[in-house]
Amino acid sequence: MIFSSKNKKYFQNAKRFTPGGVHSPVRSFKGLSTTPKFIKKGKGAYIFDEEGKKYIDFCQSFGPLILGHQNPKVKKEMKKALSRGWSYGACERYSLELAEYIVQHIPFIDQIRFVNSGTEAVMTALRLARGVTRKNKIIKFNGCYHGHVDSMLIKAGSGLAGTAEASSLGITPNCAQDTLIVDLADREAVERCFSEYDDIAGIIIEPLPANNGLLSQDVNFLKFLREITKKNKALLIFDEVISGFRCSFQGMAGKTKVTPDILTYGKIIGGGMPVGAIAAKKEIMENLAPVGGVYQAGTLSGNPLAMSAGLSTLKIINDSKFYLQLEQKTQMIANALEKWLNENHEKIGSEYKVISSDSLFWPIPLKPEERNPQTIDELPKELMKPFDIFYTALLKKGIYLSPNPYEVGFVSLAHTEKVIKDLEKRL
Ligand SMILES: *Cc1c(COP(=O)(O)O)cnc(C)c1O
């Protein structure tokens, strides 16, 4: 076999057995002039493909691996858990310990319920908000991603303020009608929704929108959402699936001191295993079954192996110094990438700015001195073409970014200064 064609061969084969060859669309490298790499193993900040090529990994499983691959402490705890058994469908201590640890360290939540993904967490949070308020409509922002929940795969419609239509096939018009879409940072649009509709159960937002690039919001906008929901007896949901345990241990809610009624978690909370969670004050949480009338369940929820990965990860990162160091390293990485992008702007076809926030970074085709975008309307129209050029070039150099121009880069504990030196050498 020709050595360099292994990744391509596996991808050809994968396309026979699964749609597009992938189990989640973004992995398909759609729109890129290169095909996906098949990853054989990961260690620290690095991943290795089936051809033996080594990459610095800035995707880190799209965020969960805040300690990098195979953190020794997490691995040790997981092995211990594994040696006892890995699923009972019964009460067990790992899920108790993780719940207790989180509630003890996040003052604005009393209770938490574990599920298996961020999508599931959002689905339950929306049902809970509707169950508590006995109202139906949810306000969602253009440019925020909340997983593949039917009522969240919705885009702005052409009619009145807030009207919406499905952004995927297979979603009923009735479902789409229960979601109102408004632009980020647009207070008037939110006010208009509340004056036009009286059955708004809640507002859901990524407090740090990080799924359409980085669209950082003013804290005052989050405060405004807190006030208007309170005034209208609706609930505020912070989807902290990316920002939770990343922007600070207490997520954006802790960092901004804006306290939502319901929070959703995912990604880091499972330390790389499939875990999501819904959290809130007890008065809200106890509306969930078996105490309350909002039904929710899961055969594998609170799986002890996943709980041990989450617990050991959270214990390591629960330290303000950890976050400060991660942020400093992220700025160094963003600077190095921005410098390289702008030295090569003629080949790439655009100047670039690399925005960073906490341990996330995002290359955007703007002049470095231009303003950071806050809404999707402010994004440059052509992202794919220049992205393809630099993405392919970086991949050749052994630098692996999330394979889509709208995805952010993730920095972990394993991205040490030595790794940053390696990055600078590879650039
Ligand atoms: C990743 C993500 C989700 C979906 O989580 P999955 O585990 O992929 O289902 C939901 N909301 C936000 C903000 C996310 O970043």
Which CATH number belongs to the domain containing residue 284 in this structure?
A: 3.40.640.10
Distance CA 292, CA 294 (A): 6
- Give the C-alpha distances (Å, rounded to integers) separating 43 from 253, 261, 410: 32, 38, 15
- Please list the residues that pair with 43 across neighbouring strands: 46
Supply 7's token pair. 């990744």
Please give the model's pTM, rounded to 2 decimal places: 0.97
The residue contributing the CA closest to ligand 1 atom 13 is: 241
240 ligand 1 Cβ < 6 A: no
The answer as to whether 421 is a domain residue is yes
Supply 179's token pair. 């979601």
239 ligand 1 Cβ < 6 A: yes
Is the distance from CB of 353 to CB of 363 less than 8 angstroms?
Answer: yes
Closest CA to 342 of 365, 323, 325: 365
Residue appearing with tokens 């980085």? 214
| Predicted confidence (pLDDT) at residue 29 exceeds the cutoff of 60 | yes
- DSSP letters, 264-317, are EE-GGGGBTBS-EEEEE-HHHHTTBTTTSSB----TTTT-HHHHHHHHHHHHHH
Sorting pLDDT into bands at 50, 70 and 90, what band is 163?
confident
Q: Indicate the residue among 283, 299, 317 that finishes a domain.
A: 317
- Please list the residues that pair with 244 across neighbouring strands: 248
Task: Give the pLDDT of residue 61.
Answer: 98
407 ligand 1 Cβ < 6 A: no
Write the CATH number for 391: 3.90.1150.10
- Do 291 and 313 lie in one domain? The reply is yes
The neighbour count for residue 13, using CB atoms within 10 Å, is 12
- Give all strands of the β-sheet with 54-57 in edge-to-edge order: 39-43, 46-49, 54-57, 399-400
| Predicted confidence (pLDDT) at residue 159 exceeds the cutoff of 80 | no
Closest CA to 143 of 195, 202, 185, 97: 185
- Do 111 and 236 lie in one domain? The reply is yes
Active centre residues (catalytic): 145, 239, 267
Q: Indicate the residue among 288, 317, 346 that finishes a domain.
A: 317
Task: Give the pLDDT of residue 397.
Answer: 98
- Do 313 and 323 lie in one domain? The reply is no
- Please list the residues that pair with 363 across neighbouring strands: 354
- Do 239 and 168 lie in one domain? The reply is yes
228 CA to centre of ligand 1 in angstroms:
25
Nearest atom of ligand 1 to the alpha carbon of 62: 1
- Do 165 and 229 lie in one domain? The reply is yes
146 ligand 1 Cβ < 6 A: yes
Closest CA to 248 of 185, 176, 302, 327: 327
- Do 197 and 333 lie in one domain? The reply is no
Q: What percent of the chain has pLDDT over 70?
A: 98
The answer as to whether 63 is a domain residue is no
Pocket test for ligand 1, best of 146, 214, 237 (most atoms within 8 A of CB): 146
Q: Indicate the residue among 282, 298, 317 that finishes a domain.
A: 317
Convert the pLDDT of each residue in 55-84 to its tens digit. Answer: 999 999 999 999 999 999 999 999 999 999
The residue contributing the CA closest to ligand 1 atom 11 is: 146
Report the chain's terminal Cα–Cα distance, integer Å. 30
Is the distance from CB of 233 to CB of 198 less than 8 angstroms?
Answer: no
- Do 181 and 41 lie in one domain? The reply is no
The answer as to whether 112 is a domain residue is yes
- Do 298 and 330 lie in one domain? The reply is no
The answer as to whether 174 is a domain residue is yes
422 ligand 1 Cβ < 6 A: no
The residue contributing the CA closest to ligand 1 atom 15 is: 242
Distance CA 229, CA 238 (A): 12
- Do 356 and 312 lie in one domain? The reply is no
Distance CA 378, CA 4 (A): 40
Task: Give the pLDDT of residue 21.
Answer: 98
| Predicted confidence (pLDDT) at residue 276 exceeds the cutoff of 70 | yes
- Do 313 and 326 lie in one domain? The reply is no
Distance CA 128, CA 137 (A): 12
Q: Is the dihedral of CA 279, 283, 288, 290 positive or negative?
A: positive
The answer as to whether 398 is a domain residue is yes
The residue contributing the CA closest to ligand 1 atom 6 is: 118
**Per-chain mean pLDDT for the chain:** 96
Residue appearing with tokens 């189990």? 23
Q: Are strands 137-142 and 200-205 parallel, antiparallel or unpaired?
A: parallel
Is the distance from CB of 275 to CB of 311 less than 8 angstroms?
Answer: no
Calculate ∠ Cα 243-248-251, nearest 5°: 45
Sorting pLDDT into bands at 50, 70 and 90, what band is 221?
very high
Distance CA 146, CA 132 (A): 20
- Do 101 and 217 lie in one domain? The reply is yes
| Predicted confidence (pLDDT) at residue 271 exceeds the cutoff of 70 | yes
Domain membership of residue 110 as a residue range: 73-317
Is the distance from CB of 80 to CB of 86 less than 8 angstroms?
Answer: no
The answer as to whether 66 is a domain residue is no
Number of domains in the chain: 2
The neighbour count for residue 397, using CB atoms within 10 Å, is 14
Sorting pLDDT into bands at 50, 70 and 90, what band is 1?
very low
Distance CA 354, CA 338 (A): 5
- Do 194 and 338 lie in one domain? The reply is no
The answer as to whether 64 is a domain residue is no
The answer as to whether 67 is a domain residue is no
